């Protein structure tokens, strides 16, 4: 059996040995507990970010921390809205605090590079703020050996892959919620958690170019999905996963001067 990359499976002394190299790299998956329609589980964002983090860690000789499983408030234009049952969120201050504390803790332990792997659209700027505050408090300035990287896995999906996954045209990242990309990835990575018999087809959500608060609930499709999952498949999920893992790992290797291993994702 391959050695686990997850910190939760390690004992403290094995972890101490990893830190002693001075090259330890820890990836932190970040997701949410958010409705993803009738066919996908509430933990979809966390599950996917964890899979991507683990695959990259295996290629880079890195470790994976336990995920941040709650995210910032779902937005009506990108996640259906925080008013929908099942969506259980943190406010911005809480998510900033979690990112700040985790970055500080790992850097103080001697981890050289911390990488947040985001899987929930609304999280990004709050993670950025938490990381920035941690670096400021630790006095880690530009040019330092230690660093923190922040990424969202979908930013590594290539245009060629999008063309293959969406032959009729890509609807856009904001409304890719419970749609083809997430459904296909889950069919490939976590098929037992997908209920395709409950998938509801329908047109993509049409939302205004502004946010109105409180939200107008009827503007969110009844399914909670912002685009249709019709056309999803495990084969598309495998294509997405393999391409993203390869490009994400290569980018991190180049940035952090590491040699990526040629291992299956």
Would you please indicate which residues are annotated as catalytic (active-site) residues? Answer: 34, 36, 45, 120, 122, 177, 182
In this structure, the number of other CB atoms found within 10 A of the CB of residue 242 comes to 15
Question: Closest Cα partner for 37 from 69, 77, 80?
Answer: 80
Q: Residue 229 has which token pair?
A: 């999952």
CA atoms within 13 A on the CB side of 56: 32
> Tell me, what DSSP letter sits at residue 88?
B
Q: Residue 9 has which token pair?
A: 């499976």
In this structure, the number of other CB atoms found within 10 A of the CB of residue 202 comes to 13
Question: Closest Cα partner for 165 from 215, 83, 258, 230?
Answer: 230
């Amino acid at each position: 059996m391959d050695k686990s990359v997850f910190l939760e499976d390690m004992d403290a002394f094995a972890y101490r040995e990893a830190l002693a190299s001075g090259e330890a790299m820890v990836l932190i998956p970040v997701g949410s507990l958010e409705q993803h329609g009738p066919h996908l589980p509430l933990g979809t964002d966390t599950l996917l970010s964890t899979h991507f983090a683990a695959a990259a860690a295996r290629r880079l000789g890195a470790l994976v921390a336990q995920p941040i499983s709650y995210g910032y408030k779902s937005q009506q234009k990108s996640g259906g809205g925080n008013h929908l049952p099942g969506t259980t969120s943190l406010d911005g201050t809480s998510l900033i605090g979690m990112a700040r504390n985790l970055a500080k803790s790992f850097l103080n332990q001697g981890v050289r590079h911390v990488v947040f792997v985001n899987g929930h659209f609304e999280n990004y700027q709050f993670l950025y703020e938490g990381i920035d505050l941690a670096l400021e408090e630790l006095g880690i300035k530009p040019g330092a050996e230690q660093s923190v990287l922040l990424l969202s896995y979908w930013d590594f999906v290539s245009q060629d892959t999008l063309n293959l996954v969406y032959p009729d045209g890509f609807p856009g990242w904001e409304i890719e919620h419970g749609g083809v990309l997430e459904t296909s990835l889950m069919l490939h990575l976590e098929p037992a958690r997908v209920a395709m018999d409950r998938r509801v087809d329908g047109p993509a959500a049409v939302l205004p170019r502004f946010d109105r608060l409180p939200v107008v609930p009827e503007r969110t499709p009844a399914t909670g999905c912002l685009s249709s999952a019709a056309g999803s498949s495990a084969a598309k999920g495998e294509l997405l996963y393999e391409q993203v893992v390869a490009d994400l790992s290569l980018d991190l290797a180049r940035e952090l001067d590491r040699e990526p291993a040629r291992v299956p994702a």
